[in-house]
Amino acid sequence: MPAYAVISSYAGKTIDHRDYPARCRRLSEAELLYTIADARESLAAFPDSANAGYYQDEIHYAAAEIERRRRGGRRDRTPAAVSAAIREAAAAELVAMLED
């Protein structure tokens, strides 16, 4: 295996911090909740993965978009607001799972 292949495998996926929030605006709430659930599952299964940072960013941007919509389009970018959005998304996800 070439040396560059080994180095690139440690780099993992990177997120485009400019375009990803815009992409989240085009997703439905169900798609945003699925994104959060999928990223959480990936982190739980492989917490030390090279892609862990990418999945954490996905969770952040999806939860921030859900919170932005709940505020009527206004953004509250404080860490406390983002943490609250993530907790709310997790609660909504759990309710949806229990209803199935």
Q: What is the pLDDT of residue 8?
A: 36
Q: What is the pLDDT of residue 89?
A: 76
Q: What is the pLDDT of residue 37?
A: 95
Give the domain extent around 15: 3-99
The answer to whether the beta carbons of residues 84 and 67 sit under 8 Å apart is yes
Q: What is the pLDDT of residue 3?
A: 45
CA 23 to the chain's CA centroid: 12
d(CA 60, CA 20): 11
**Residue-by-residue pLDDT tens, the chain, 100 positions:** 444 443 334 567 888 999 999 999 999 999 999 999 999 999 999 989 899 999 999 999 999 999 889 888 766 667 777 777 777 777 777 667 666 6
Q: What is the pLDDT of residue 4?
A: 44
Q: Which of 24, 28, 34 is nearest to 90 (CA)?
A: 34
Q: What is the pLDDT of residue 81?
A: 75
d(CA 90, CA 72): 20
Based on the structure, what is the number of domains in the chain? Answer: 1
